[in-house]
Amino acid sequence: MWETHWVINTEGWGKMTSTYTATSANDYSPFHYSFIERVQKKCVERFSYEQYERILESRTYTTKSPLPSWGEVNFEHTTKRKYVFVGARSSPFALSKSVWIALKGHPESVTVKISSVGRDEEFFLDDIFQNRDCPTRCAIYNHPHIEDEKFQGWMKALDESTHIVVYGGEETVEYYKKRYPEKELIIHGPKFSFGVVTHDDVPRSSSRIWKDFSLTMGEGCLSPRFYFILGGKPANNHENTRYLGSHSQRDNERDFYQDHLPLGEKSNLAQGWFHCEFDLTDEIEVPDHLYGGMKFYWNEDRTEEDVIKFAEAYRGQISTVAIGSHLDLLHPLSRVGVPRVCPIGDMQTPDFTEQYDEQYDWRDFLV
């Protein structure tokens, strides 16, 4: 029971002022496979549905302790549930989790709203559910607009839902909290991400650090807001800036985006390339909004233990932690509630099967 609602209006709820973020995440980026492409490749082309299901099985049942972002859904009594997913931008998590819940939990319905320029998501979900014996009634709304008749369908789904899974910023979250106080809300935003590196990692991984930051220019939950530099003193600000803006990296970006972006977004990109500072102080600021910048914090006395304490203090507010050489942090961070730990360079492109970070392929951490 699968239906896709095509809504042409692209001025919908999603504040899609930037095709850069959407298109680079989905279509244009030469540096990443977009989430959808990767899921399609891995789950549809390379694997049969049976294999795909086995991956889900293994990920579901072999993990000793499900991580917070995935563990809050109890599948014992889900058949009467009606899930609504409010996705933001290209919403990879909203998509992957909705599919996961539909396939594993067989709830009564799953409805997804996404704000995306492309339609790959619909095709992907169609692929997943078409010809499958999935009892769940599924629907996806792309840009439901208040003047469009599909909007009523979306609002009806919200009114009838039992669970609302929200991905978005503070305003979005507050809206759903106020409007649907009686429903069970599973809130995924706003959260922040950060990374942990050694001073040696910075020059070695500069292009990967930059990739994590630049895909959405720091304006996303998965973008690193800051890095802890542990150990020896890093190079001076000039040197580090030079590493991050390495010529080849910048040339690649420039050459590529020059042909793909409208003038205004090119300007934003050119102006925003610099919102990235080395702040060698001990005062850590956790930004309460998407500020589009990145800082590096270094203090000679700071240890891995301090990072773990920091993560514990912000339990429930952290989206992703990227680590460089500090492989020892993987499990401790997970134990204090960090839902995702990944190698530097992969923050923005979570793999469909990597949510259980304890299962991650260790070789990928060798950056």
Partner 1 sequence: MEKIKNYMKPGSISDEETFENLVEELWKLHWDRNPVYKESTLHLFGQIEAQGWRSTPCMPISRFKENKAITIGTEKMPPKGELFQSSGTTQGDKSTHYLPYTDLYEASIAGSFLHLVLKEFRWLPGYNVVTVSPHVPQSSLLWMMDFLREQLGSWKLMVDPTKSEDLAELELLLQDSFDLEIPLIMFGTSLAMYDLFQKNRLNRPDDQPLHHESKIITTGGWKGRNIEISQYQLEGDLSYWLGLSRFNMMREYSMSEMSSQLYAYAAEVPEYKSMPWLRYRVVDPLTQKDVKEGEHGAIAFYDLANAYSCPFILTEDEGSIGPNGGLILHGRLGGAVEKGCSISVGDALGNKHRGLG
Dihedral sign for Cα 328, 330, 331, 333, please. positive
Amino acid at the residue 188 = H
Distance CA 219, CA 243 (A): 22
C-alpha–C-alpha distance, residues 199 and 245, integer Å: 17
Least Cβ distance, residue 250 to partner 1 (angstroms): 7
CA dihedral 28, 30, 32, 35 (to 10 degrees): 20
Q: Which of 47, 49, 273, 310 binds partner 1 (CB under 8 A)?
A: 273
Angstrom CA distances, 19 to 26, 210, 327, 355, stand at 10, 20, 36, 27
Of residues 262 and 316, the one with the C-beta less far from partner 1? 262
Is residue 49 a contact point for partner 1 (CB under 8 A)?
Answer: no
- Residue 168 contacts by C-beta under 8 Å, 6 or more apart in sequence? 86, 88, 188, 189, 190
The residue within the footprint of partner 1, chosen from 38, 137, 199, 242 (CB under 8 A), is 242
**Lookup: tokens for 171:** 């305003």
Residue from 66, 153, 169, 245 touching partner 1 (CB under 8 A): that is 245
Task: Give the nearest distance from C-beta 287 to partner 1 in angstroms.
Answer: 10
Q: What is the C-alpha separation between 141 and 254, in angstroms, rounded?
A: 34
Is position 254 an interface residue for partner 1 (rule: CB under 8 A)?
yes
Shortest distance, CB of residue 151 to partner 1, whole angstroms?
A: 25
Per CB under 8 A, the segment of 95-103, 104-112, 253-261, 328-336 that binds partner 1 is 253-261
* Residue 15 makes contact with partner 1 by CB under 8 A: no
The yes or no reply on residue 262 touching partner 1 (CB under 8 A) is yes
Q: Can you tell me the distance from the alpha carbon of 231 to that of 198, in angstroms, rounded to the nearest whole number?
A: 6
Rule CB under 8 A: choose which of 274, 305, 313, 315 binds partner 1. Answer: 274
List 1, 6, 8, 17, residue binding partner 1 (CB under 8 A): 17
Q: What is the 3-state secondary structure (H, E, C) of 296-360?
A: EEECCCCCHHHHHHHHHHCCCCEEEEEECCCHHHHHHHHHCCCCCEEECCCCCCCCCCCCCHHHC
Rounded least distance, CB 37 to partner 1, Å: 25
Closer residue to partner 1, CB minimum distance, 117 or 166: 117
Q: Does residue 299 bind partner 1 (CB under 8 A)?
A: no
Which span sits near partner 1 by CB under 8 A: 81-89, 107-115, 264-272, 347-355?
264-272
In the chain, DSSP finds a helix count (H) and a strand count (E) of 15, 12
Binding of residue 315 to partner 1 (CB under 8 A): no
Q: Which of the 8 DSSP states describes residue 5?
A: E
Query: Is residue 265 involved in binding partner 1 (CB under 8 A)?
Result: yes
Q: Which is nearer to partner 1, 28 or 273 (CB)?
A: 273
* Shortest distance in whole angstroms from residue 11 CB to partner 1: 14
Separation CA 312–CA 244 (nearest Å): 29
d(CA 188, CA 97): 12
Per CB under 8 A, the list member of 102, 215, 269, 323 interacting with partner 1 is 269
Question: Is residue 66 at the binding interface for partner 1, with CB under 8 A as the rule?
Answer: no
Q: Is 281 in the site for partner 1 (CB under 8 A)?
A: no
Binding site for partner 1 (CB under 8 A): 17, 237-238, 241-242, 244-247, 250, 254, 257-258, 261-275, 277, 291
